[in-house]
Structure 1
Amino acid sequence: MSTAPLAHTDVIVLDYLAALWAQSEDLSPQLRDELMTTVADYIAARRAAASSPLDDAAAIVQRLGPPEALVDAVRRGQLPPHVRLPALVPPPPPPSRLPAQQGGVAEYTAVGMLTAGAFFLPVVSPVAGMLLASASPHFTPADKAVGWTLTAGSAAMGAVLTLFFATLPFHTGAALLLIYLAMCTGAFAAGMTLLNSLRRR
């Protein structure tokens, strides 16, 4: 056990608590314990307060007031408001709720390149859009996988149809339109999938 002398501040606090204990001997045990606990918590909270902490025990005791005044207040049925711990330590402010992130310029540019861009520049625009989408944290891995599958499948279908019609002895405008739509439809579906993902967030 340490035999080091108590610090001056500790002596002040202990003397105050001893005087409070002596003054409150006529209170019921429950009220007496509540008073002592409340005052001890007040002193500890004042010393460790986040804003304006008090290291000077004498200043804390002075703010509490004479022990007999506190005991008289308890006899009347209520402690002074400034001694109540909730009044001393205000509750922390509620955490601010940030608005849900729904994507930015890069995300909507990727969607645009997959939808409108696919009709103006098939294959190239959708691939560029998917590269942008893949680098974005706003899309889930599942969204990206679906986007790549639809985009690659659309390009592959266009390539298959092109080879198929190239083997035929004749070419029609309908064949070219079918190839064009095959290369655009999957990319457009991928863009709509990513857009719906942004709207759900």
Structure 2
Amino acid sequence: MTSGPYSTDTAPLAHTDALVLDYLAALWAATDDLEPELRDELMTTVADYIALRRSVSGGPVEDPAQILRRLGSPESLAAAARRGRVPAHLRRPVPAPAVPAAPSSGAEYAGLALLTAGAVVLPVLGPFAGMLLISGSPRWSAAHKTAAWVLAAGPALLGFALVVLAVMLGGGPDTLVVAYLMTLAGGFVAALCLLPGLSARRHYPPGY
């Protein structure tokens, strides 16, 4: 058997390995007239093709003859390489491009600003308007939006209830301060919960 650069092991070979090495040796001989770079590229591509298809469904293929038949004869591969093209069945799949981070819109930043700075100026209306903007953004999942709504609206509702209770019981102005601080804290905590989503790579579809 002709020895090529892919047959350096002198141990006894299984029948399946011998078939593959015979094929690679024949291909090596058939491409003797090719440029060294093109020859090496073709040999590597064919060897990778065989290796990939000998490991299917978690187990090796018993008979590689079917794989070699799909490849075609070494002479046909060499002829295709001389014509400057790789046979279609040998073309490697193009890796899927990395999904870039979804661009953040101005509305998303405005929503976070209303949750924080807006809560200082308009303790209830600011966070509410900010959450409306955030709810319409595909940046965050429905779970993140729900958590932000709870964090922003919960303290505001408790503060409102505290104010109503204070009015009914004749409470002082300290109650208004506490309610204001609760609303302010809720907006800031909700914004902190949403902030990591601005740099996340995943782009959630609306309504997810």
TM-score scaled to structure 2, two decimals?
Answer: 0.55
The equivalent of 1:112 in structure 2 is 153
CA distance in 2, matches of 1:6, 1:62: 21
User: 1:69-94 CA distances to partner (integer Å, 9 max, x unpaired)?
Assistant: 1111122222312122x14xx63586
Greater shift, 13-22 or 48-57, is seen at 48-57
| Larger fraction in helix | 1
CA distance in 2, matches of 1:115, 1:93: 44
The equivalent of 2:140 in structure 1 is 100
Cα distance change, pair 106–121 in 1 and its aligned pair in 2 (3 A): farther
| Aligned residues between the structures | 147
The equivalent of 2:34 in structure 1 is 27
SS at match of 2:144: coil
Cα distance change, pair 104–9 in 1 and its aligned pair in 2 (3 A): same
SS at match of 2:12: coil
CA distance in 1, matches of 2:59, 2:11: 30
Cα distance change, pair 58–99 in 1 and its aligned pair in 2 (3 A): farther
Unaligned runs of 5+ in 1: 125-157, 159-174
TM-score scaled to structure 1, two decimals?
Answer: 0.57
The equivalent of 2:128 in structure 1 is none
CA distance in 2, matches of 1:40, 1:191: 61
SS at match of 1:121: helix
Name the aligned partner's letter for residue 185 of structure 1: Y
> 1:91 pairs with 80, 91, 95, which one?
95
Name the aligned partner's letter for residue 173 of structure 2: L
CA RMSD of aligned residues (A): 3.7
Cα distance change, pair 189–77 in 1 and its aligned pair in 2 (3 A): closer
The equivalent of 2:184 in structure 1 is 189
Cα distance change, pair 121–21 in 1 and its aligned pair in 2 (3 A): same
Cα distance change, pair 19–118 in 1 and its aligned pair in 2 (3 A): same
Q: Is the 8 A contact 2:151 2:187 kept in 1?
A: no
The equivalent of 1:56 in structure 2 is 63
CA distance in 1, matches of 2:34, 2:40: 9
Cα distance change, pair 20–48 in 1 and its aligned pair in 2 (3 A): same
* Offset of residue 183 of structure 1: 3.1
Unaligned runs of 5+ in 2: 1-8, 102-137, 198-208
The equivalent of 2:129 in structure 1 is none
SS at match of 1:13: helix
SS at match of 2:173: helix
Q: Please tell me whether Structure 1 or Structure 2 has the larger radius of gyration of its CA atoms.
A: 1
* Offset of residue 40 of structure 1: 1.2
